Chain A
Amino acid sequence: MRHGKYPFVIGFLFAPVALYVTFVIWPYAQAFQISMTNWRGLSAPQWVGFDNYRRLLDDGAFWKAVQHHGVLLLALPLITVAIALFFAFLLNVGGKSSGGQRQGVWGAKFYRVVFFFPQVLAVAIIAVLFQMVYRPNESGLINGVLMKFGLEPILFLVKPNLALWSIIAVLVWQAVGFYVVLFSAGMASIPGEIYEAAEMDGATKVTLFFRVTLPLLWDTLQVAWVYLGIAAFDAFAIVAVLSVDGGGPDGATTVLAMEIYRNAFVYSKYGYASAMGVALFFLTLTFAALTLRLTKRESVEY
């Protein structure tokens, strides 16, 4: 039945591809075009060539944002994956084995649902929630308790060297649940006999984790890393709602999307904002390509 295969395939693909091109590819192409203009959002844009990109080079806020993405790119995946792996291991294979079947710790099913809660909440709600948690006076969740004990309140979002880490903590808190579920699914597909064999050879739980679970989970880890890396290039909603003075204090928590937003919708510099968008696009692309390339290795068949 090779005959007529292509018309059939094309017939099916036409609608989604047309939609994708119109609403995803075309706006991207337009962003490239706009980034070469001084468009202010109203009348016809004027062509300015690479002017906007030259401006990027000495824009302090832009470089600050890029730097923060560097920090996020290291911290967010590392912390999230470490915590998620630990929880997933406990929930799936951390408990006793019964009848040759590895079990999670007591109450694993309950925890699995609880860990997923943050994922269900809208990002904006999480940001508003953490405004309450971080609030720097007696009505804050953390500082309220501290002040009851007569301690000085911690100015989470206000201290320049603490602010970014306070934001990262929220991002991690929000992401962990999803990766616990992702890793749990990965672990569930690892055959029980392998664990059994390893245990018979006298492997401890730590050895089990590093020698069995981790290598067999490599593909899933790789996916998690790419996802989290991309999340690290975003972080807009949390920063916009949660941070002081829109990415402050003094740009201490700003990210590229925040600067794009500011340039486009506060300063009406759509051309310049598009140039930042294009820069972000290439950063994300480079990161994803690099990660997929570097983490490529023989996957274990079982």
Chain B
Amino acid sequence: MSITPEHPAALDRRTVLRRAAAVGMLATPAIGLLGACATSGSDGDNEQVAGGTKSEKNPLGVKEDAAIEVVIFNGGYGEKYATDVHEPLYKTAFPKAEVKHQATQAVSTVLQPRFASGNPPEFVNNSGEKLMDFGALVADGQLQDLTELWDAPSVDDPTKKVRDTVVPGTIEAGSFNGKPFVLYYVSTVFGIWYSGKLFKDNGWAPAKSWDDFIALLTAIKAKGITPYGYAGANAAYYQWNVILTQAAKIGGTDVLKNIDNLEDGAWKQDAVKQAAAAWAEVGAKFSDKSFEGLKHTDVQLRQNQYKLALYPSGDWLEGEQKQDTPAGFDYQLMPVPSLTASDKLPATALRATAGEGYFVSAKSKNPKGGLEYMRQMLSKAGAKGFTEVVKAPTVVTAGSEGFAFPPGVASSQAALKAAGQDVFNLYFDGWYKELDTEARTATNELMFGRINADAFVERIQKRADAIKKDSSVTKFKR
């Protein structure tokens, strides 16, 4: 079976196959191609537009006829709030400016090449599963400093700065090393959710202390309903959030600050260990092993079918489940209960933050326009319009006045009010994605009974130490 160029007919099937195999060998690990994005993109070839004249109506000095491009993540909140509310507001303020709108479900896929080639859009809603790494963007100088926006007079009351119209903590949530870069717009409250109807029918009440909580779980179990569960397949962070919230309640908010700042031994703090041990027990006694193989949609559906009683999540849950929630289900939030009587924070304390990130690209053509767009978003009309379209409260204090929220959001807003000053947040997952991944994996190991609390804190601490030592990772402090 010799093959010579003189006998092309001898190129039989097998030879062709063998050659095809050789070609396939080069082509199959296509993942190698993923690095093929252009690295040659140059910065600064994008000429920025000159400023306009500052005036009372235009405190930021936006050029009146400069175009602005808006990219919206078309996810849970849709894009209607942008096209129907915020963009018209900008158009009204600057009739001569063109507003280009684009919506996407994969933000990084669409925008990565634009950043790499130095031509990013002015305004970006960076959210969803494929969001761009905020830490990397900040480290790269791609984000516009928002200090100018926060210090600008607000749209509705020129005597009031924009920073004074939003819920406390909003600016901090979007700050990196003390500098504000990201606007988190939607007020988000975390807790444990239950069906008001299921609880009322069975005479159960939400628990404030740990003993009550265990009694409640036992009662639910006796009824043949899975008392507690989260989705291990893709949403383990809902559970580390509960464990860390518990830790903050036990040991005070500094526990979380140490974790965020990658302090030595931060994960090995007693509060974290105690919280992990307590929840490991809940996982072992009151959950279902099969949940590790389920996605969040499956588990949330089980709750809607009254097969699961308690589920940890943020207050987007009610909107997310709108399609599957039976009538009268009545979503209610209960804060994570206190573990001991000597907890540093009261039972009402909870984690709340501003969610859904927006930024202005520093290297875009018209960054001032982007800032102005944010100022319009933060106006009363902008916030009210958003809340009316997506049924979620914004960080603008005056924005949700007089709006009748559905029961779940109403209960989380009430819980937020009851918490008063005892509201805290954590940031490490946004700053160090690798630590988030490790915490998720470790949480599954802990909650489904493969490791104990000591091993849990040990392994996350190990990863935190490695990140601290890694010079290629930009560090953040708060």
Contacts and interface: CB of A to CB of B under 8 A. Distances in A.
Contacts, number: 178
B234 interface: yes
Contact of A233 (B28, B36, B293, B294): B28
Contacts of A220: 14, 17
A223 B31 contact: no
Interface stretch (A80-88, A108-116, A207-215, A258-266): A258-266
Contacts of A299: 1
Nearest to A135: B293
Given A226-B21, A234-B28, A267-B434, A245 B35 contact: no
Q: What interface size band does chain A fall in? A: 35 or more
A24 B35 CA distance: 11
A169 interface: no
A34 interface: yes
Interface stretch (A25-33, A94-102, A119-127): A25-33
Given A24-B26, A260-B31, A44 B43 contact: yes
B404 interface: no
B50 interface: no
Given A269-B472, A273-B35, A153 B28 contact: no
Interface stretch (A70-78, A173-181, A191-199, A276-284): A276-284
B420 interface: no
A278 B139 CA distance: 26
Contacts of B14: 219-220, 223
A246 B426 CA distance: 24
A234 B472 CA distance: 28
Contacts of B95: none
A10 interface: no
A267 B433 contact: yes
B327 to A, nearest CB: 23
B243 to A, nearest CB: 16
Interface string B438-478: 00110011001010000000000000000000001000000
Contacts of B39: 30, 33-34, 39, 44-45
A34 B292 CA distance: 37
B26 A245 contact: no
Given A30-B35, A38-B472, A249-B292, A288 B25 contact: yes
Contacts of B133: 40, 266-268
Contacts of B298: 135
A274 interface: yes
B53 interface: no
B445 A137 contact: no
B115 interface: yes
B472 to A, nearest CB: 5
Contacts of A27: 32-33, 35-36
Contacts of B437: 262, 266
Contact of B141 (A43, A45, A271, A277): A43
Contacts of A43: 43, 140-142
Given A137-B294, A155-B292, A245 B34 contact: no
Nearest to A265: B108
A250 B445 CA distance: 7
A288 B433 contact: no
Given A135-B298, A250-B444, 14 more contacts: A27-B32, A40-B139, A41-B37, A41-B115, A42-B137, A137-B290, A158-B448, A219-B14, A245-B440, A245-B441, A264-B35, A280-B31, A281-B29, A284-B25
Interface of A: 24, 26-28, 30-31, 33-35, 38-45, 48, 134-137, 153, 155-158, 160, 185, 219-220, 222-223, 226-227, 230-231, 233-234, 236, 244-246, 248-251, 256-257, 260-262, 264-274, 277-278, 280-281, 284-285, 288, 292, 299, 301
